[in-house]
Amino acid sequence: MKKWKAAAAVVLTIVLLSFTLTGCSMPQKDDSTFSVTMVTSDGGINDQSFNQSSWEGLQKFAEETGSEVRYIESKQPSDYLTNLDRATDSYPDLIWGIGYTFADPILTIAKANPDMSFAIVDNAYDDTPFNVTGVVFRAEESSFMAGYIAGMSTKTDKVGYVGGMKSAINDQFQYGYDAGVAYAAKERGVKIEVMNQLVESYTDAAKAKAIANKMFSQGADIVFHSAGGAGQGVIESAKDNGKYAIGVDRDQSYLAPDNVLTSALKNVDTAVELVCQEKMDGQDIGGQTLSFGLSDDAVGIPTENKNMDPEVYEKAMEVRQKIISGEIKVPATEEAYNAYAASLGQ
């Protein structure tokens, strides 16, 4: 019985304490300042990838326009919806969900809050609600360039690809890259073997490292990854083996300056900034999917690549022009890739 009383006392104390503290309340809606809130995926804000890029884009946007930007970090997928809901509490002008895993949560929250605007990175809906904007990247274009560079630079005529999880987005990287390698192989008149494997995770760096180690020991000398945070394992492996890795999403050469050949950039920050700007300018961006590619400078490769032969870089830039002009149609799906490979074979 006494235990009960003591327990009741604890609960009462906490509740009372909370009442005294409710004085410091949430920032209320302020119409004069444009505000944006983003919710990260479970990779966290410092994932060296999407979440981090998006946040950098928002910070830059805030610096340039004086807008108010905030983020909420998710720990697990079941947090997404509650965090989005929390984001709506301060009535921001735009709420971002970072990554395609937000597809369902964004739909749910957008339906519950028809008076607010939402945007999602890396997802295209078949039927986009009027208050949601999908933002996608033609990552196959930068991956094609990465594949082309790998194909032109390889000494062993064996290259590797380490993917994250099977999805339409991941396919863009894989088949874009494979197609780029095939294009280079045709240009050089040799046969280049590509080893493809998925980590089945975006965070398991140890597993990604093991996969890359295996590829290097089987003779590959360049491995490209699109495995988010897990991809750091691939770069570590390249460092340990004295071979090359191709980074993804951001210029990852700082992780291993001597072992990163180049990176297939996905400038999420550029896209996030552009979309925020459009929203701020009062454009109606809802109900559609915006696609960003080489022509918007939203994907590409870094200008500084100290491990790359300058000649290869020049050629890669020519390829870039060909992609922008439409001369090269980069495949983004398995079907398109098979058709593309067949057309090269002729």
Partner 1 sequence: MQRSEFFKNFWRKPIFATIIAILSGFIVAAIILASAGYNPWTSLGALFYGMFGRPKYISNVIIKSTPIIVTGLSVAFAYKMGLFNIGAEGQYIMGALAANVVGYLVDAPAIIEIPLIILAGVAAGALYGGIIGLLKGRYDINEVITGIMLNWIALYFSNYIVNLEIFHKPNTASMYAINESGYTSLFTQWKTTEAAATFFQEHPFIGDIMRTDVNMGFIIAVALTIFISWVLFKTTKGYQLRAVGYAQEAAEFAGIDVKKNVIQTMLIAGGLAGMAGVLNITGIFPHAVSQLSAFESYGLNGLCVAFIAGGSPIGCILAGLLFGGLLYGGQSLQYMAGAPSEIINIMIGTIVFFVGLEGLVGMIVDRIEKRKAAKSKESGSSDSGKSGSGTGGSDKKETVTTETKQEIQSPELKTLETGKSQ
117 interacts with partner 1 by CB under 8 A: no
Name residues whose C-beta falls within 8 Å of residue 283's C-beta, 6 or more positions apart in sequence.
Answer: none
126 interacts with partner 1 by CB under 8 A: no
Say how far residue 55 (Cα) sits from the centre of its chain.
Answer: 12
Distance, first Cα to last Cα, the chain: 86
What does the DSSP 8-state code read for residue 187? H
| C-beta closer to partner 1: residue 168 or 324 | 168
Q: Residue 279 CB, nearest distance to partner 1 (Å)?
A: 21
Q: Which of these, 166, 169, 174, lies nearest to 195 by C-alpha position? A: 174
16 interacts with partner 1 by CB under 8 A: no
**Nearest-angstrom CA–CA distance, 14 and 109:** 31
**Buried b or exposed e, range 51-73, using 16+ CB within 10 angstroms:** bbbbbbbbebbbeebebbbbbbb
Which residues between 171 and 230 bind partner 1 (CB under 8 A)?
Answer: 200-204, 230
Q: Phi, psi (5° rounding) for residue 74? A: -100, 145
116 interacts with partner 1 by CB under 8 A: no
Only segment of 23-31, 155-163, 238-246, 293-301 that touches partner 1 (CB under 8 A): 23-31
What does the DSSP 8-state code read for residue 327? S
| C-beta closer to partner 1: residue 198 or 294 | 198
Among 35, 42, 180, 253, binds partner 1 (CB under 8 A): 42
Name residues whose C-beta falls within 8 Å of residue 282's C-beta, 6 or more positions apart in sequence.
Answer: none
Q: Residue 16 CB, nearest distance to partner 1 (Å)?
A: 11
Q: Which two tokens stand for residue 102?
A: 């937000």
Give the gyration radius of the chain's Cα atoms. Answer: 23
Only segment of 165-173, 213-221, 250-258, 277-285 that touches partner 1 (CB under 8 A): 165-173
Q: Residue 25 CB, nearest distance to partner 1 (Å)?
A: 7
Only segment of 86-94, 233-241, 293-301, 322-330 that touches partner 1 (CB under 8 A): 86-94
Question: Contact at 8 Å (CB) between 148 and 284?
Answer: no
Among 56, 59, 86, 302, binds partner 1 (CB under 8 A): 86
303 interacts with partner 1 by CB under 8 A: no
35 interacts with partner 1 by CB under 8 A: no
| C-beta closer to partner 1: residue 126 or 281 | 126
Q: Which two tokens stand for residue 159?
A: 């290259």
| C-beta closer to partner 1: residue 22 or 325 | 22
29 interacts with partner 1 by CB under 8 A: no
**Nearest-angstrom CA–CA distance, 266 and 243:** 23
Question: Contact at 8 Å (CB) between 185 and 154?
Answer: no
| C-beta closer to partner 1: residue 147 or 233 | 233
Binding mask 44-83 for partner 1 (x = CB under 8 A): --------------------------xxxx-xxxxx-xxx
Question: Contact at 8 Å (CB) between 150 and 159?
Answer: yes
Residues that bind partner 1 (CB under 8 A): 2-7, 10-11, 14-15, 17-19, 21-27, 37, 42, 70-73, 75-79, 81-83, 85-87, 89, 100-101, 103-105, 108, 111-112, 123, 165-169, 200-204, 230
